[in-house]
Amino acid sequence: MKNKVVELDQAVAAIKDGQTILFADWHGEISAEEVITGVIEKGVKDITAVAVSGGMPDQGVGRMIVAHQVKKLLTTHIGLNPVAKEQYVAGELEVEFIPQGTFTERIRCGGYGLGGCLTPTGVGTAVAEGKQILNINGKDYLLEMPIRGDVALIKATKADWAGNLCFNKTSGAISNTMAFAADTVICEVEELVEVGELDPDEIDVPAPVVDMIYVRKGEKKPFCPMWQRAKAKAEAKAAEGGK
């Protein structure tokens, strides 16, 4: 059985200019921060990023947007990252906005080898521009094409050295969908265990799907919901007199 544990430089070496990268973070949280730091320091450019959102300026894919390493973004929204909005308005960042359900389904199609999916979402709106519309039983549907990536960059709570992954509750969000839709799957993990230590019911992504396991060197990052971060910022601003 192959040991898939690698050092940071090996993980970063798999990420190159012009690739399409699937970022499994959730609005910047639950992200492979140490690998992303390595990619930023490497100076990779012209990336097409696929992510639920534009992240935040200091987290996840948002950090690469701030570093001007992302050329195009396929996403559901960019509202949490003011830098992404500025780049989009300035014409520096191409953005394809995708309804969230369609976003997930297109990635699933890419992972499972399907030719696309039909959905009524977006019919009659800007989402339908340039897309094929099929009428089935008197109802119009958009044909949405699959999304695949060269690399999926995900984060797990635990993994064994063979590549079986375990996520903490909903932290897997879209990770297990993206893991099937990329040529190379790199996972940054908080805790490495021996093969056999994970209960089969704990395994969210099976080993054959995963190519590299990087064990993060920093301390475990405590999960902090966005509403708590927003509250903390508001309280700090109020303490400064609203400045």
pLDDT digits (tens, 9 = 90+) for 7-33: 999 999 999 999 999 999 888 888 999
Predicted pLDDT at 130:
93
- Could you give the percent of the chain with pLDDT greater than 90? 84
Q: Is residue 136 assigned to a domain?
A: no
pLDDT-based confidence at residue 214 (cuts at 50, 70, 90): very high
pLDDT digits (tens, 9 = 90+) for 93-118: 999 999 999 999 999 999 999 999 99
Is the pLDDT assigned to residue 122 strictly greater than 50?
yes
Distance, CA of 203 to CA of 25 (rounded, Å): 19
- Could you give the percent of the chain with pLDDT greater than 70? 94
Q: Print the domain residue range for 18.
A: 5-116+144-239
Q: CA nearest 185: which of 16, 1, 18, 23?
A: 23
Task: Give the list of residues 6+ apart from residue 235 with CB closer than 8 angstroms, or none.
Answer: none
pLDDT-based confidence at residue 194 (cuts at 50, 70, 90): very high
The CA–CA distances, whole Å, from 116 to 24, 92, 157, 202 equal: 21, 29, 31, 30
pLDDT-based confidence at residue 222 (cuts at 50, 70, 90): very low
The CA–CA distances, whole Å, from 171 to 26, 47, 84, 102, 135 equal: 8, 24, 24, 20, 38
Predicted pLDDT at 29:
84
Q: CA nearest 153: which of 63, 219, 84?
A: 63
Is the pLDDT assigned to residue 184 strictly greater than 70?
yes
CATH of the domain at 36: 3.40.1080.10
Q: Is the separation of the CB atoms in 189 and 157 below 8 Å? A: yes
Q: Is residue 91 assigned to a domain?
A: yes
Is the pLDDT assigned to residue 227 strictly greater than 80?
no
Tokens 């902090």 label which residue? 224
Q: Is residue 122 assigned to a domain?
A: no
Q: Is residue 190 assigned to a domain?
A: yes
Alpha carbons within 13 angstroms on the beta-carbon side of residue 124 total 4
Q: Is the separation of the CB atoms in 47 and 19 below 8 Å? A: yes
Number of domains in the chain: 1
pLDDT-based confidence at residue 223 (cuts at 50, 70, 90): very low
Q: Is residue 234 assigned to a domain?
A: yes
CA angle (179 as vertex; 74, 32 as ends), nearest 5: 75
Which SS3 state, helix, strand or coil, does residue 21 take? strand
Q: Is residue 125 assigned to a domain?
A: no
pLDDT-based confidence at residue 220 (cuts at 50, 70, 90): low
Taking the CA atoms of 80, 81, 85 and 91 in sequence, report the sign of the dihedral they define.
negative
Is the pLDDT assigned to residue 226 strictly greater than 70?
no
Distance, CA of 72 to CA of 187 (rounded, Å): 23
- What is the 8-class DSSP label of residue 171? G
Q: Is the separation of the CB atoms in 167 and 131 below 8 Å? A: no
Q: Is residue 129 assigned to a domain?
A: no
Which one is predicted more confidently, 235 or 38? Answer: 38
Among left, alpha and beta (phi > 0; psi -120 to 50; other), residue 92 is alpha
pLDDT digits (tens, 9 = 90+) for 54-86: 999 999 999 999 999 999 999 999 999 999 999
Roughly how many angstroms between the first and final C-alpha of the chain, as a whole number?
58
Q: Is residue 16 assigned to a domain?
A: yes
